[in-house]
Structure 1
């Protein structure tokens, strides 16, 4: 029973270590994420700068995966070549070892101080740099606290015959240690946590020095497997070049180092009295030697990867998001800008739909591709809403929350306007020729002019969505009265034809009225997408058009 309780305590300490690592990563990303990306982007001109930048950024983030995703984002937009991208990953692998070096010393006594300082900083307003740094400092304190707990828990486990027998069986074959640590690192998504756990095991003599080094090799292998197994770009082989290249250089290093483990472990055990320090030094030395070996060979290595994974000439998918950067989700303020930029694409697609409706007036069939445009709008709306829903909004200010809601409103209204255009307006526009009744050319020209006015309003809404100018919002909102008056005039004309008993023109007149109503409905969605949020923020939007208490305008105006 005591053994089971000890294992539960061990699992809890490992979970605390992982959570502390996560807090350090998210805190640094929120505080300096955009600046780290700029630094990384500026350093991609040559492999040496890229290596150093990758090492520095990863040392700050404590996540080579996060660094890899940043570089993958640059590579996906064609902003970086494969050689500097691979150099960044070599630096990132070294950067993850630096925190291990720091924590290999006995500095657990500063854990309460770090948590206290982090708590004071975290009390600052959300969204401030101090608030985000407080999260990172608390995370570092939790990591030290978890390491101290691990060391205390290892003492009773050291005398456990069950655990010793299990680890003795595992340690007989170093390759088994490698695979075990690789799977554990893949599951934890943190090579830092696994290496720190191995250090604790080695310091208490629960695993031999050779087994500890094999476990470190496995941790390096598992951290390189994560981006390849869980990253995007499965449709495009070229997107897998960098993660595959990073994994293969780890495999090459493992093949060379594995036979040397008996000699290395014996030599380091004889020269160093602290097994935990020996594990940390081996971890850093392995990645430094790997970087030194591969940096000069990156050009031919990149050529080989391009030959294995050539570019795929795939047709462009208009519904594929272009600006929803997955890395930016870790910095929600940046992610809001990405989502807003993607939302503007929906306005462009809707404008194409309106142009198709104008072309369909009186035609025998709608223009080609209009159905696909409606599908593009729906898929973009789903992608943007899913992207925003995945954001960690804890660090957003009140203004950021308001902007998030405005983006969701814009996306939803554009999607609904597209549905009206595709499923109602386009069929009505194509019905004119089926009526078999003469349609006055002046009537069609009137509809075309109204569609042109709707297109101008759509462009104004897209501009207003970015500028949030209340003057433009008022101009756009006033357009609703114009379209309402046009529909009213069309209704009166239709009723006049009915009264005059002109059966030849009644069908065309009714269809003409339907077109005006469709266009008015789309314009209402356009106004609600961009004008209403701005007017509501400035207190210029009434909650209802109905007068309070059923009073007439004369009674309201009376003194």
Structure 2
């Protein structure tokens, strides 16, 4: 077989191995992410349990590299803490030695069986969990197939005269042998396949005991490199760096003793193939025993070395919509309610920016209102999708009512933000671009409306959190207060226009539309009281309130600038 063909087969085997790893991790996260997160959190707090878990997972996946890549993704996502993840990797290193011993036997029949079972499970029924399990089994079958292809390719390489000459030239050159094995294990992305190749070469008499041991140590370093190189962030690099440092420490401690251990009176008398497998197994086992008690200090050191970078978070990205809440309705609803309160804070910020825009001619305030509204819309869409997922498995009537209350809260705040961004702020900016600042009279009539909207928003949050019926009545009654304020401001404005013939008609029209927009915003905020009133049975079929009285509106407009508006 030509060198080009060997390289193509080697690259294809590695690609298939990596794709199988990706299929397993993505399928397990997609179908069992919540259960897996809960299981890891409950069972991997004990480092010995984490060690055993690493051995078991590696035994199933047949690759410590696959376990390293999966554990790295879990750690970067926050699913798995760093200290137990390091213990998992110590177990994975032991598990890879068991895989080497297993693959020394003929298990070629297992690969098609795993692929067949995976396909049957995938097509068994229309259930996302069965599909995910089937994809994971198919990924495992592809990994086993890739290991067989990789072993066959390396077997062809082993038979080449150039490769045999290279192996013989390594005799006595321990550092060079260490480097060659490191690069080979890194390129192949499989320490198992390279250890099997070394055992085969040693059994054929091409390697001395000391060279075989040096090559095994190099494989342990190279097996830690793929996940370290593939890590995309500083947080993701913590676990593979820790695994690399543990292996490197073990190599540095053992390498000076290799010539002594290779003496015939010690390990040199063992059969060459058994020597390779035995050294590989003993190395991983001793490392696990040495470092199992140091996982917490090592995790702290890695966290200091690779701190999480400061990120500029888009306010529109949800912070509390955790997938685990989808399984327990009350937790999911609490998560959605926390995000809804963030929307109320955003709307309050938009109101503050609108007030600054009314006072000044800075276009940056209008731009900021538009930017916050985009974040508000994005967060609203995420909350609505999350609420829809909570109801997929069926929820109680009480939880369904709470879900509707949150949905109504979110939609009304989103509509209020749209009015502020697309109408009110744009109208104010239009006048300011023409150099027409709002007069003292206009600002004096807008301040009370602004103050009422802010106070109603605070009341709406109280009703949303506590379902306080007196507060809900107060919030609905304020609709009439705002209506009267708008009507009084509009009458006084027309009276001013009749007295001032030089006033621009368009400017007056913009001011009237601003008054109307403030009332529209307040309408959406006041509507947040209705779910609590409906639950208490205090709303009639026409949408009115049973037995409530409207608060009296003030006879005069307070034109003093409210301090809460200035904040």
TM bucket, shorter chain: 0.5 to 0.7
Residues 440 and 31 from structure 1, CA distance in 2 versus in 1: closer, same or farther, beyond 3 angstroms? closer
Q: 8 Å contact 2:94–2:285 — kept in the other structure? A: yes
Q: 8 Å contact 1:174–1:214 — kept in the other structure? A: no
Radius of gyration: which is bigger? 2
For the pair 1:217 / 2:220, whether they are aligned, the reply is: yes
2:438 corresponds in structure 1 to 435
Pairing partner for 2:256 from 252, 255, 259: 259
Question: What displacement does 1:88 show?
Answer: 4.4
For 2:269 and 2:462, locate their aligned partners in 1 and report how far apart those are by CA, in whole Å.
74
* Structure 1: runs of 5+ lacking an equivalent: 234-238, 387-395, 401-406, 464-481, 528-559
2:448 corresponds in structure 1 to 445
Residues 377 and 99 from structure 1, CA distance in 2 versus in 1: closer, same or farther, beyond 3 angstroms? farther
Partner SS state of residue 442, structure 2: coil
Partner SS state of residue 138, structure 1: helix
For the pair 1:286 / 2:283, whether they are aligned, the reply is: yes
For the pair 1:10 / 2:10, whether they are aligned, the reply is: yes
For 1:286 and 1:19, locate their aligned partners in 2 and report how far apart those are by CA, in whole Å.
29
| Match runs of 1:388-399 below 5 Å | none
| Match runs of 1:142-157 below 5 Å | 142-157=142-157
For 2:244 and 2:167, locate their aligned partners in 1 and report how far apart those are by CA, in whole Å.
27
| Match runs of 1:434-513 below 5 Å | 434-439=437-442, 441=444, 443-449=446-452, 503=501, 507=507, 510-513=510-513
Pairing partner for 2:343 from 347, 351, 359: 347
Normalising by structure 1, what TM-score?
A: 0.61
Question: What displacement does 1:5 show?
Answer: 2.4
Residues 416 and 200 from structure 1, CA distance in 2 versus in 1: closer, same or farther, beyond 3 angstroms? farther
1:296 corresponds in structure 2 to 293
Q: 8 Å contact 2:347–2:417 — kept in the other structure? A: no
Residues 269 and 22 from structure 1, CA distance in 2 versus in 1: closer, same or farther, beyond 3 angstroms? farther
Residues 437 and 141 from structure 1, CA distance in 2 versus in 1: closer, same or farther, beyond 3 angstroms? closer
For 1:187 and 1:502, locate their aligned partners in 2 and report how far apart those are by CA, in whole Å.
84
Question: What displacement does 1:120 show?
Answer: 0.7
For 2:514 and 2:187, locate their aligned partners in 1 and report how far apart those are by CA, in whole Å.
59
For 1:100 and 1:459, locate their aligned partners in 2 and report how far apart those are by CA, in whole Å.
63
Q: 8 Å contact 1:213–1:279 — kept in the other structure? A: yes
Residues 376 and 339 from structure 1, CA distance in 2 versus in 1: closer, same or farther, beyond 3 angstroms? farther
Q: CA RMSD in A?
A: 6.1
For 1:443 and 1:281, locate their aligned partners in 2 and report how far apart those are by CA, in whole Å.
84
For 1:102 and 1:523, locate their aligned partners in 2 and report how far apart those are by CA, in whole Å.
71
Partner SS state of residue 230, structure 1: coil
Question: What displacement does 1:347 show?
Answer: 2.0
Q: 8 Å contact 2:234–2:307 — kept in the other structure? A: no
Residues 498 and 101 from structure 1, CA distance in 2 versus in 1: closer, same or farther, beyond 3 angstroms? farther
For 1:115 and 1:149, locate their aligned partners in 2 and report how far apart those are by CA, in whole Å.
16
For 1:185 and 1:221, locate their aligned partners in 2 and report how far apart those are by CA, in whole Å.
9
For 1:147 and 1:508, locate their aligned partners in 2 and report how far apart those are by CA, in whole Å.
79
Worse-superposed segment, 240-249 or 428-437: 428-437
For the pair 1:203 / 2:200, whether they are aligned, the reply is: yes
Normalising by structure 2, what TM-score?
A: 0.60
Question: What displacement does 1:375 show?
Answer: 6.2
Question: What displacement does 1:117 show?
Answer: 1.4
For 1:245 and 1:15, locate their aligned partners in 2 and report how far apart those are by CA, in whole Å.
25
2:270 corresponds in structure 1 to 271
Question: What displacement does 1:255 show?
Answer: 0.5
* Structure 2: runs of 5+ lacking an equivalent: 383-388, 394-406, 467-479, 528-567
